[in-house]
Structure 1
Amino acid sequence: MQHLIGKQMILLKRAWNIFSISLLSTLTAYPALGAERIKFNYGLLEESIPISSLESYVKTGKVDESLASYSRYVGKKQLTQLRKALITPIPLSQIEVSQFLYTPIGERLLEKLGKVIQTESNLSGFYAIRAALILSATNKQNFTLLNVLQKFPASAISINLNQSLEIVDALQDLVNQTQNAVALVNQQSQQQLINTSTLKVAPLQDLRKPGSFRFIKQTILLNDLSRLRQFPADIYLPITQNPRPVIFISHGLGSDRTSFAYLAEHLASYGFVVAVPEHPGSNSKQLQALLSGTADRVTNPREFIDRPLDIKFLLDELTRLSKNNPKFQGRLNLEQVGVIGQSFGGYTALALVGAEINFKKLNSDCPALEDTLNVSLLLQCLAVNLPHTEYNLSDSRIKAAIAINPVDSSIFGQASLSKIKIPLMIVSGSADTVAPALPEQIQPFTWLTTPNKYLALINGGTHFSTISESSNAVVPVPTAIIGSSPALAQRYIQALSVAFLETYAVDQANFLPYLSTDYINNISRQPLPLSLIKSLTSEELQKAI
């Protein structure tokens, strides 16, 4: 018995240490605690912190005796960050909070969190967490984590350290595997440079700088009567007498057609016609409707079908305009077409070039959704609710594609991604916590069978690094989540897109040297060093992770 208690003490210390270090990130990611005390339970053992100690620390900056036990495990910097997190206003109203927490995705997050954050009787904290958030949000000026603590509908909150350790261990495994995979990609990229070091090329221009074409922007309104779907699109037209290649850009969930305006303008300056549609069911207006109470979901599963069909319909419309409209006549080369998409737009691009929705894979993966650390599966698994039939989403007119931070591991899986036959570039960020690099980009890259495939890795890049700030943003993305140097990441995208599309959509072989490690190293900069590889096998990846 003494041996058992001693072992539990060691485990409790480990659990307390790990959880203490991660408490700040837990509070920030899931702002839903509240009570008179926070209790940490591990088997028969228990530690606790009075909420009043946190309140006192927030007001005075002084650590009292109760909080001192916590402070032993974290540094002064983390305590300072915790203090700031507790009093930083949360920029959401009660309606906005309520709407999200009652969506399927919101409820999934609450279910997962409720296993760790429980009531004093060790029951799931699902309903208490939701109540605390909604009650605290009634006063938008005082909607802070500390206020949420005060609104929790119980005298104490119990943190299940068994569950916490499982999550922390699983997260650490994912982090370790991702680090090993990233190291492998970086190593392969440099190995490619060694193997091709004898192939010296003439000095290359800087594709991060604008090209020589001037252009105008036209906005058109499309109305697809067959789907009762109306949406706008911005068309960037180079000023030239000759037909130019056409590139489509598909934005991500909760974004809009201005998110990649910087890329559209850059491509137009290189002589590409760029068409950027707004996907009405998964754009910033949809997010606004959700948060204002006029919509009941983040997006409709039908968006998995409608998004690719938006691009196909727009391509049909541009074909018609090129024949009948003087503004477009003779200006579009519809034999040279490419597509770029980010996040949900990355899914859209992959669907357009031959990846089919894999209902068998979804049915296998989605029942275990509560146990995943891959947030993107919350989106992908919405597709389970679609009628299980074959959808014609691909378009043979598209000759090349770029998928940035795509979500694809379950919605497509290996069986569908292996069907893509055209040139494809996947762009990944090693610090992406929304569509994690390993399961959503690096491993799917090994599933590709197309001979012309590339994986570009932005070391330190996040899910939001390549998205420019939109004036229509509903909820501004915090700088800490965007990460460092988004302008640098966006310049990478500009250079990679020009090089890849000129090479494979326009068949300009003289741009192929730009898709080499030699050139990538030339433009790579800290704090977001860039790597590029053309091949990686599943065996190599499995061995590394």
Structure 2
Amino acid sequence: MTALSSYVSHIFPRWRTHFLSFFGDRSRSLGLGLLLAGFSSLGAITIAPTSYAADRIYVAYNILERSISVKALEDYAQRGVMDEDLAVYAQYANPKVLENLRSALQAKADVNPVTVAQFLYSPQGEAALKRLGQVIQPESRISGYQAIRAALILAARDPEGLTLLNFLRRFPSKGIRIDVERSLRVAGEAEQLINKTKQATQAIIQVASEERITDPPLTNRIDLRRSGPFGFDKQTITLNDPNRGIATPSAPAVPASTRGLLKGRIYKVDIYTPRLEKATAPRSLPVVVISHGLGSDRDSFAYLASHLASHGFVVLVPEHPGSDSKQMEALLQGNASEVSEPGEFANRPLDISYLLDYLEQQSRTNPTYQSFNLQRVGVIGQSFGGYTALALAGASINFPELQASCTNLENTFNISLFLQCRALQLQHSDQTRSDFRDPRIQAAIALNPITSAVLGKNNLSAIQIPTMIVAGSSDTVTPALFEQIQPFTWLTTLDKYLVQIDPGTHFSVIGDVPAPNNSSNNSNNSSNNSSKPASTPNSNTTSLSIPPEVIGPDPAAAQHYTKALALAFFKTYIAQQPNFRPYLSATYARSISETNLRVDLVRTLPADQLSQGPGRTVAVGVKR
């Protein structure tokens, strides 16, 4: 999922909190409570940092209505002057809360108006706006989603920047009406979900503590977080699958049915090969494929690829065109209409299968690839890449579940559904394939994957190979409860693991996008002899700047966990070295857990552990 959507889901609840603090004591005044809920909704409205426009804000609850002028808020924000309109409510707040309110009104977001517009006109942006439009409305009381979008775009163009006040000033109606009854209901549902996520997090911690009692002892323990004994070579190859096209940002006006078909689907692949002494090198090298997330690229997991290569694995890292950083850049520049086209749900797993086919063919004549064991391959992916890994593992697209989950997106708390529901378009396409299982994939790890609707319970339960799911308890893009914790309980494979990073976010395990030393961008096969990645960013990579608070605490620790547990998992199930299996335990996870970012691993999570948690409606975040 995108950095923009994550930033949105993180920053606006913070603004909302300022208003909750100021207008929050409903027991003292009904009018106060009305404005509390109203401003709470305005805090959530902001899809991109927001700003106000209109003369007055009207907050209605049944037949009761209260209001406050925009000018009163403006005067207070800019000059600290409080008129009678605002003073009625200020008497209930302490000075610190008042200062927080003033800061929130003026908080500025440096975003390009084109970026805001492109996101808000995308299917994901429109779905979010329609939900906000149920609560935030113009004077006519119709859905406010179009007015909200206009105000956000205009405010982003303002010389003063996008602020909450500027949003109000640009709202295309003399008044803003807020449906408090609906707002309170939404707020209550959100609070319930937060509490249930906390319950699930604690359930995992409890199960891990119980599993530690029966875990086998770790003898001759080694630190799997450290680099292995081997250097590695890295080469970049370019593949062209003539049977598939890609809707390239450079040709957005060409019909999707024909776009890119003349040149096929062209994509680059980084290949990390360990340097082994010929006399002692095994005849068959284990292979792992890494699939990056939406809006990311091959460099995002260079730290993991180099780590696995240093321990003797061949690592293949394809870049998925159409859902990579270039696609995100095209969206933000106005050259693409969405962050990813529906066809990427098919193209991503096919990228990996085509890569394995290509290497098998090349190995017949090219000595470079003859030592690769391409019949027993591991795959690891993050976010959209997590879906890719699980699809290759045997979970097909679940069109019935998508139909059920995507009928009421205006009421979802799970923003990953905005992406998952795009897969419905494949059901009516010329290519109706939904099963992408590749029998060469023998073990899979999914980091922060999307699963709940696009795969669903029935199809996830079809996976029969060893599977690990990694969740971040504070992930607001692919929420852990919806997308990882409950889906883990649907797995039926005997070898399954759930890893929880607390309070991990959607970005905790993603690297700093390093570029290897002397790396080549030649479209032909190229190679360098760098044994470790450099720390300088790749100048060819364009990505959104993600604030530290969105990334979360101690990402270095999260990446150490990923290196250690992925190594143990693939050593056990791909390299077939059973002496690494004891590292796949609650005991080992606890032994490497850091203070600021806890990690727990469980092999089981009985359904009754979540029985006090969400039902099916909550699991997908949609009111059925």
Give the TM-score, by structure 1 length.
Answer: 0.92
SS of residue in 2 equivalent to 1:231:
strand
One-letter amino acid of the counterpart of residue 542, structure 1: S
CA contact (8 A) 1:282 1:298 kept: yes
SS of residue in 1 equivalent to 2:407:
helix
**2:379 counterpart of 1:339:** yes
Aligned counterparts, 1:286-301, within 5 A: 286-301=327-342
CA apart distance, 1:113: 0.7
CA contact (8 A) 2:49 2:164 kept: no
How far apart are the structure 1 equivalents of 2:50 and 2:609?
A: 40
**2:488 counterpart of 1:448:** no
**2:221 counterpart of 1:204:** yes
CA apart distance, 1:505: 1.4
One-letter amino acid of the counterpart of residue 525, structure 1: E
Residues 454-486 of structure 1: CA distance to partner in whole angstroms, max 9, x if unpaired?
A: 000011111111112335243212222211111
Match of 2:413 in 1: 373
Judge which range, 145-154 or 161-170, deviates more: 145-154
Distance change >3 Å, CA 26–CA 392, structure 1 → 2:
closer
CA apart distance, 1:160: 1.4
One-letter amino acid of the counterpart of residue 265, structure 2: R
Match of 1:278 in 2: 319
CA contact (8 A) 1:27 1:33 kept: no
How far apart are the structure 2 equivalents of 1:68 and 1:496?
A: 56
SS of residue in 2 equivalent to 1:216:
strand
Match of 1:116 in 2: 135
**2:232 counterpart of 1:215:** yes
SS of residue in 2 equivalent to 1:464:
coil
CA contact (8 A) 1:467 1:490 kept: yes
SS of residue in 2 equivalent to 1:399:
strand
2:463 to 394, 404, 420: 420
Match of 1:410 in 2: 453
**2:266 counterpart of 1:230:** yes
One-letter amino acid of the counterpart of residue 187, structure 2: V
Match of 2:423 in 1: 383
Distance change >3 Å, CA 206–CA 540, structure 1 → 2:
same
How far apart are the structure 2 equivalents of 1:107 and 1:259?
A: 29
CA apart distance, 1:441: 0.6
CA contact (8 A) 1:349 1:402 kept: yes
1:51 to 70, 82, 95: 70
Aligned counterparts, 1:155-166, within 5 A: 155-166=174-185
Match of 2:583 in 1: 514
Runs of at least 5 residues in structure 1 that lack an aligned partner in the other structure: 1-6
Distance change >3 Å, CA 87–CA 260, structure 1 → 2:
farther
Distance change >3 Å, CA 72–CA 118, structure 1 → 2:
farther
Match of 1:4 in 2: none
Match of 1:474 in 2: 543
Distance change >3 Å, CA 502–CA 150, structure 1 → 2:
same
CA apart distance, 1:59: 2.9
CA contact (8 A) 2:124 2:418 kept: yes
CA contact (8 A) 2:448 2:470 kept: yes
SS of residue in 2 equivalent to 1:526:
coil
How far apart are the structure 2 equivalents of 1:158 and 1:503?
A: 59
One-letter amino acid of the counterpart of residue 402, structure 1: I
Residues 114-136 of structure 1: CA distance to partner in whole angstroms, max 9, x if unpaired?
A: 11111123222111111112222
Runs of at least 5 residues in structure 2 that lack an aligned partner in the other structure: 1-25, 245-263, 514-536, 615-624
Distance change >3 Å, CA 11–CA 177, structure 1 → 2:
farther
Q: More relative contact order in 1 or in 2 (CA 8 Å, sep 6+)?
A: 2
1:349 to 352, 367, 389: 389
How far apart are the structure 2 equivalents of 1:137 and 1:513?
A: 54
How far apart are the structure 2 equivalents of 1:110 and 1:51?
A: 22
One-letter amino acid of the counterpart of residue 311, structure 2: Y
CA contact (8 A) 1:20 1:73 kept: no
How far apart are the structure 1 equivalents of 2:235 and 2:100?
A: 47
Distance change >3 Å, CA 12–CA 542, structure 1 → 2:
farther
Match of 1:462 in 2: 505
Identity of aligned residues (%): 49
CA apart distance, 1:107: 1.1
Match of 1:257 in 2: 298
Distance change >3 Å, CA 225–CA 140, structure 1 → 2:
farther
SS of residue in 1 equivalent to 2:388:
helix
Length, aligned pairs only:
536
Match of 1:529 in 2: 598
**2:520 counterpart of 1:501:** no
How far apart are the structure 1 equivalents of 2:382 and 2:608?
A: 28
One-letter amino acid of the counterpart of residue 235, structure 2: Q
One-letter amino acid of the counterpart of residue 220, structure 1: I
CA apart distance, 1:137: 2.6
Judge which range, 265-274 or 92-101, deviates more: 92-101
Distance change >3 Å, CA 132–CA 419, structure 1 → 2:
same
Match of 1:439 in 2: 482
One-letter amino acid of the counterpart of residue 533, structure 1: V
CA apart distance, 1:31: 2.5
1:183 to 178, 202, 205: 202
> How large is the RMSD of aligned CA atoms in angstroms?
2.4
CA apart distance, 1:490: 1.2
CA apart distance, 1:288: 1.3
CA contact (8 A) 1:281 1:300 kept: yes
